[in-house]
Structure 1
Amino acid sequence: MGKHSRRKGGYLPKVAAGAAPVALLFAAPAAALATPAELTLPLDHRDAGTFRRDVSTSGEDGSSVIRETLTASRHDFLAKEVAGALLTHDLAESAVTRRNEWQTGTWAASQETESFARAGRHTVGWAGVRAVSANYQQLGQGASRNLSLSPLGGGAGHRIGAGEGMTHGIWPADGVDVLSQNAEQLDTGLQGSFAGDLRSAVSARRSSGQAVDIGRLGAIGATSEQHATGQLTGVLDLGQSHEAGGQLGPAWGLAKTSQSLGPAGPAGSIRGDLGVDHVVHAEGGTTSVRGTLDRSGSLSVLDQRLLGF
């Protein structure tokens, strides 16, 4: 770490979009001033849907392959201007099913997946101020099978996963924004074979980020991530990390910490970086792996290093 950690273009996570409650503050006065006619028509409404099925087959030298995909989607958009405020609602949904089959004289396999996704975006704009709230959900599952006659064997597996996330943002002025994002994901699966082997795993992950950007004056931001994975064999993997940083004029600061527990044992680290451009710069960190500590640090004044270890 060092001066390279100072804010440059894209330094803070642009974790898109800031505060549905704030959006309601702008929407409520506009709705109160609106007449009944303004709250009804006219509306800008667009609705579209698609359905598609693709099938392909091929075969050569006693083998065959079949691939099939079914896709259904829907897109709904609604916009309305109320007392000078523009409100929009954008919703997209899709469902996809895929099936693949392979076969030869002594071997056959198949794979099937299904997924569903939904994403919504809501925007309020009024007098140069814009607020956005967005969310998404996704769900999927998959199954696979294979069978061999020579030698005799085979296996099967199944997995399922779900995820969701939300983003919020508000832009009160040009170059100024407040942003927030969070997401969660859960996956599980089971795999077995004719030989008696059985494997399973469950994985969960969560992440979040927040940022405030005040243009040329500076910005601050923070991110957080946690994950956990467990297996039927008893293998456990846990971890988390947090990071916060900011820049105000020529001064900047950054702090990061992480902890983990895995097959190799516990580990953790913490690092910090603080300075004022071309005046003073201090950084340091501590890392622990299975109880062994490793420390480092440095101090520079007027671009001259005074201390280091």
Structure 2
Amino acid sequence: MGKHSRRKSGYLPKVAVGAAPVALLFAAPAAALASPAELTLPLDHREDSTFGRDVSTSGQDDSSVVRETLTATRHDFLAKEVAGAVLTTDLAESAITRREERQTETSAASRETEALTRNGRHTLRLGAVRAVTANYQRLGQGDSRTLSLSPIAGGTERRTGLGEGTTHGVWLADGVDVLSQNAEQLDTGLHGSFAGDLQGALSANRSSGQAVDLGSLGAVGTTSEQHATGQIAGVLDLDQEHELGGQLGPAWGWTKTTQSVGPDGPAGSIRGDLGVDHVVHAEGGTTTVRGTLDRSGSLSVLDRPVLGF
């Protein structure tokens, strides 16, 4: 197995870009070399905003549907060159509301969702060196209601979600990169009906990834993810996953662990892959599900199998 091309997706997490602390390191010397006039002018500043409203209606036989969408956006861009360094700030914000109503002779239903989002990106470029930091925030909510007269029934549902994330990256000379990403998401909701049933749920997610690319020398990266979901009925699911991998010249290594707890009990696994190109290669794994243990592994030397189970 040729290992120079075996850099797996787990080795380098697919992260976006950003690096505020490093940007400050570059910005401080640049500001010290600039005169007061250079710090103020010239500036490239662009700002625009939009507002839109769209309403549509449709009907067939004894039914009618009304849809309405309200959209407001704002975009602010600022760029400045200081002593050869170019600094840019790009900010985008939006608010969207959607409503829908359906009616017939014996039933009615309505649905409404709202979402607020904000995205920011800051970039510093000095020659071939580039540092970027980006972040986003999102807040959303929605509710729906139904009513039927024949037979008499109805229900309501409410959902709320909150998410945020940051990404950082530094690009140096000779293909050397440092990347990082973190994201969190929280969702909750309630559902009730005329029959007296009430159901609720809470879901939380967190993920992160870091990677260092050393160009032709190799790379190393790690990812992590946690997830939890619970319900009023008492059902709880917990999951987490961690992955670490790297490559340095002809040598590589990779390991991944997973753990989960659900209605069927705990489960987990660990897998690993380690080797040197055309010299030695070892891989193996262990999985447990409801107390049952399953193992596998293999070893090869000079591209020839030596051990396997």
Measured after TM superposition, the shift of residue 174 of structure 1 is 4.1
Counterpart for residue 104 of structure 1: 104
Q: Give, as a single letter, the amino acid of the residue that structure 2 aligns with 1:248.
A: L
Measured after TM superposition, the shift of residue 85 of structure 1 is 0.6
Counterpart for residue 176 of structure 1: 176
Give the number of the structure with larger relative contact order, counting CA–CA contacts within 8 Å between residues 6 or more apart.
2
Q: Give, as a single letter, the amino acid of the residue that structure 2 aligns with 1:228.
A: A
> What pairs up with 1:69-108 in 2 under 5 angstroms?
69-108=69-108
Counterpart for residue 202 of structure 1: 202
Measured after TM superposition, the shift of residue 18 of structure 1 is 4.6
Counterpart for residue 230 of structure 1: 230
Counterpart for residue 283 of structure 2: 283
Q: Give, as a single letter, the amino acid of the residue that structure 1 aligns with 2:288.
A: S
Q: Give, as a single letter, the amino acid of the residue that structure 1 aligns with 2:277.
A: D
Counterpart for residue 148 of structure 2: 148
Measured after TM superposition, the shift of residue 127 of structure 1 is 2.4
Whole-angstrom distance in 1 between the partners of 2:246 and 2:205: 26
Measured after TM superposition, the shift of residue 290 of structure 1 is 1.1
Counterpart for residue 52 of structure 1: 52
Flag structure 1 segments of 5+ consecutive residues without an equivalent: none
Counterpart for residue 185 of structure 1: 185
**Would you say the 8 A contact 2:86–2:125 is kept in 1?**
yes
Whole-angstrom distance in 2 between the partners of 1:276 and 1:136: 41
Assess, with a 3 A threshold, how the Cα gap between structure 1 residues 76 and 18 changes in structure 2: closer, same or farther: closer
Measured after TM superposition, the shift of residue 8 of structure 1 is 5.8
Counterpart for residue 130 of structure 1: 130
**Would you say the 8 A contact 1:14–1:179 is kept in 2?**
no
Whole-angstrom distance in 2 between the partners of 1:18 and 1:120: 10
Measured after TM superposition, the shift of residue 67 of structure 1 is 0.5
Q: Give, as a single letter, the amino acid of the residue that structure 2 aligns with 1:161.
A: G
Measured after TM superposition, the shift of residue 16 of structure 1 is 2.0
Measured after TM superposition, the shift of residue 5 of structure 1 is 8.8
Partner of 1:182, secondary structure, is: strand
Superposition RMSD in Å: 1.7
Q: Give, as a single letter, the amino acid of the residue that structure 2 aligns with 1:180.
A: S
Report sequence identity in percent: 79
**Would you say the 8 A contact 2:164–2:184 is kept in 1?**
yes
What is the CA deviation profile of residues 82-102 of structure 1, one whole-angstrom value per residue up to 9, with x for unaligned ones? 111100000000000000111
Measured after TM superposition, the shift of residue 3 of structure 1 is 6.3
Q: Which is further off, 19-28 or 113-122?
A: 19-28
**Would you say the 8 A contact 1:162–1:185 is kept in 2?**
yes
TM-score, normalization by structure 2: 0.97
Partner of 2:241, secondary structure, is: strand
**Would you say the 8 A contact 1:238–1:261 is kept in 2?**
yes
Measured after TM superposition, the shift of residue 277 of structure 1 is 1.5
Partner of 2:169, secondary structure, is: strand
Whole-angstrom distance in 2 between the partners of 1:9 and 1:116: 32
Measured after TM superposition, the shift of residue 299 of structure 1 is 0.3
**Would you say the 8 A contact 2:18–2:134 is kept in 1?**
no
TM-score, normalization by structure 1: 0.97
**Would you say the 8 A contact 1:5–1:254 is kept in 2?**
no
Partner of 2:12, secondary structure, is: coil
Q: Which is further off, 286-295 or 133-142?
A: 286-295
Whole-angstrom distance in 2 between the partners of 1:142 and 1:211: 37
**Would you say the 8 A contact 1:219–1:247 is kept in 2?**
yes
Counterpart for residue 22 of structure 1: 22
Counterpart for residue 158 of structure 1: 158
Measured after TM superposition, the shift of residue 128 of structure 1 is 1.5
Q: Give, as a single letter, the amino acid of the residue that structure 2 aligns with 1:233.
A: A
Partner of 2:38, secondary structure, is: coil
Counterpart for residue 34 of structure 2: 34
